[in-house]
Amino acid sequence: MAEDVGGTEGYAAEADDLFARYESLAAQDVHRAVLHLLPSAPARVLDIGAGTGRDAAWFAAQGHQVVAVEPTDALRLRAMTLHPSPRIAWVDDSLPELAALRARHDPFDLIMMTAVLMHLDADERARAMPNVASLLAPKGLLIMRLRHGPVPPGRRMFDVAAEDVTALAAPLGLRCVFEHHGGSLGMQNHSAGVTWTTLALVRSDRA
């Protein structure tokens, strides 16, 4: 897939820096706010925008079967080498369509979207949400981390509010069961004043 998939601008050129930054943070620290919501038994996990593979490797180490989606070759190919695991299947695909992934017809118990939705404009987000929702198993959980703050030079980002997400999710039968706001763990983002919102959504008929 071409490196200029909408929203991925700048990532290939900065791959070395991104690997150093992302891999310096432990996945369990990044996702500490939602640890109590994550499945304990082996589950089918989808990591959309898997980047360096940090989170995918963390889930795989816990016994989950992981599909890691990453459209940027410079990240995906290196991540496959850095985090080799028979429990991780890497897929070259991108939002908003996720065409290759949807063609597999595999439902997931957990879908992770960390620092992903911010790369899509309003129209793209409206197209993406039904496609993501279609991949969620009946009792599945969708977790998103939304970035707020200054946009780095050369990047394409939008400030997405929690209300924007829940408004798109409700007609799809998804309701928000958890919301958390916090600062950045990474020094560079922390210094820039970047903050994060973490959302957890489930099917509205889930007990």
**Quick check: bond before 171 cis, omega within 30?**
no
pLDDT the model gives residue 187: 73
Which pLDDT does position 188 carry in this prediction? 75
Domains and CATH numbers, the chain: 42-203 (3.40.50.150)
- Sequence-distant (6+) residues with CB within 8 A of 106 are 44, 67, 135
Contact criterion met (CB below 8 Å) for 149 and 194: yes
Tell me the pLDDT of the chain (207 aa) as tens digits.
333 455 454 466 677 788 888 888 999 999 999 999 999 999 999 999 999 999 999 999 999 999 999 999 989 999 999 999 999 999 999 999 999 999 988 899 999 999 999 999 999 999 999 999 999 999 999 999 999 988 887 778 999 999 999 999 999 999 999 999 998 887 777 677 899 999 999 987 655
Question: Whole-model pTM?
Answer: 0.89
For residue 207, which amino acid is it?
A
Question: In one letter, which amino acid is 195?
Answer: T
What is the pLDDT, as a whole number, of residue 13? Answer: 64
Based on its alpha-carbon atoms, the radius of gyration of the chain, rounded to whole angstroms, reads 16
User: In this structure, what are the phi and psi dihedrals at residue 148, rounded to the nearest 5 degrees?
Assistant: -130, 130
Beta bridge partners of 201: 142, 176
**Separation of alpha carbons 206 and 36, rounded Å:** 17
Q: What is the pLDDT of residue 163?
A: 97
SS3 of 77, please? helix
